[in-house]
Structure 1
Amino acid sequence: MLIQGFPAQVAGTNCFVVASGPGEQCVIIDPGAGVTGQLDEIVAEHRLHPVAVVLTHGHLDHTFSVLPVCQARDVPAYIHSSDRSALADPWTGLGLPYGAPLFGVPGLTFAEPDDVRELADKDGLTLAGMSFTVRHTPGHTAGSVVFALPADDQQVLFAGDVLFAGSIGRTDLPGGSMTDMTRSLREVILPMDDEVIVLPGHGGQTTIGHERLTNPFLKDL
């Protein structure tokens, strides 16, 4: 299994490239702002062939480059139905007036890729010869999801902004809910095995077991 992640130029959002190995098809997870150059380098270095972009949620720091990445490679984008509108209108999800400058840049425009496919809870998503399990985990946004993937003899969880090392995603933006976040953590995250490797949307990797013992937001659940 080949998993290569790197932080985007804005907000340090982790973008991941996932493949069964060099020279194979690959999936791109959460292409944020300013990632296209490094994505192209990784794809070329490992002789990869992108087949899809999958999104953990609709916030702009995770979706900024979805249109150019999808259009350049002629591949679909996958996002939960509750966050789909954010692809063309990121302002609403951030609580900003439509058309307001984003990242300090005026005049930005956004549109959906030509091929957008909607995700639902417990979907089995087979892409690039790999089997992802989709779990709907609202709280950070209404359409937040995590992707579980068997990788060699372990399982990897692409957690987006649901769970971080030592913290969880904020719930104070439009579409966020602490009640929903608590339910997602209790019913989806905590039942997972301790050995599951967590690759979050920001910051370094961790494990479910480590967070179960040390994360102050999980201790009381």
Structure 2
Amino acid sequence: MLVVGFPSGPLQANCYLLAPGEGEACVVVDPGQDVAETLAEQLRKHRLTPVAVLLTHGHFDHCFSVAPVCDGHDIPAWVHPEDRGLLSDPGRGLGVATRAMFGGSLEMREPAEVRELADGAELDLGGLRVSVAHTPGHTGGSVSFHTGTEEGGRLMLSGDTLFAGSIGRTDLPGGDHQQMLETLRTRVLPLPDDTVVLPGHGPTTTIGRERVSNPFLRGLGSVDQTDPADADAPAAPHRGL
């Protein structure tokens, strides 16, 4: 499998290309701000043909370029229904202070074709088999994508649910700390240690590495769900939105 990743835009959100190999069909995951030039370069370099865009969630730093990428290649965008509204109204997912940072408004629109993701769905996209897990917490419609390699390796595209050494923030509209803890407990911790995590920001990691070193995962199984403020972990540093 070919995996190409690069950060984009002021918030350095990771955009990924996944393909069975060079010269094949590919999927584009999270085309954020300022991706056009680098994306075109990587498509030419690896002789790839996009067949779909997958969105881990609806924050604009991950999907700002979804309409031009999709419409430019005549391909659909896949997004969870709870975050679909953010594609045309990105301000709904931002706090007042964050909106002010970007001039108070952001203009976006849906691409011509949008398809909605469902928990547990299995997508067959250009020869790639991708499974979908609903992982709310960072946003209500956050998802992670899971696929495997011919060599037997496992990949998780975690969006802003899990980072190397941290997790996504839950203080913006649509975020929910209690849901995040449940997602981490039920959707992240059960994964095999050798699962390679491709996060929405920052470097690649593995589930095994995060299980023993990430302060938000250590001891999570014993956290009392009655009050998420009691969780014995530091506040998540803000990475992206």
SS in 1 for 2:184: helix
Q: Which residue of structure 1 lines up, in the alignment, with residue 213 of structure 2?
A: 214
SS in 2 for 1:142: coil
SS in 1 for 2:124: strand
1:39 matched to 2:56? The reply is no
The separation in 2 between residues aligned to 1:161 and 1:218, in whole angstroms, is 15
Tell whether the 8 Å contact from 2:148 to 2:155 is kept in structure 1 after alignment: yes
Whichever residue aligns with residue 199 of structure 1, its letter is: L
Q: Which residue of structure 1 lines up, in the alignment, with residue 111 of structure 2?
A: 113
1:54 matched to 2:60? The reply is no
Question: Which runs of 5 or more residues in structure 2 are unaligned?
Answer: 221-241
Superposition pairs of residues 145-184 of structure 1, within 5 angstroms: 145-152=143-150, 153-184=152-183
> Identity of aligned pairs, percent?
52
Tell whether the 8 Å contact from 1:4 to 1:16 is kept in structure 2 after alignment: yes
Whichever residue aligns with residue 31 of structure 1, its letter is: P
Deviation for aligned residue 1:177: 0.5
Question: Which runs of 5 or more residues in structure 1 are unaligned?
Answer: none
TM-score, normalised with respect to structure 1? 0.95
Residues 29-57 of structure 1 deviation map (CA, whole Å, 9 limit, x = unaligned)? 00010001110011011111100000000
Could you list the runs of 4 or more consecutive aligned residues of structure 1 that deviate by over 3 angstroms after TM superposition?
A: 100-108
Residues 148-200 of structure 1 deviation map (CA, whole Å, 9 limit, x = unaligned)? 01013200000000000000000000000010000000001000000000000
SS in 1 for 2:145: strand
CA RMSD of aligned residues (A): 1.6
Tell whether the 8 Å contact from 1:77 to 1:115 is kept in structure 2 after alignment: yes
Q: Which residue of structure 1 lines up, in the alignment, with residue 87 of structure 2?
A: 87
Q: Which residue of structure 1 lines up, in the alignment, with residue 138 of structure 2?
A: 140
TM-score, normalised with respect to structure 2? 0.88
Whichever residue aligns with residue 83 of structure 1, its letter is: D
SS in 2 for 1:120: coil
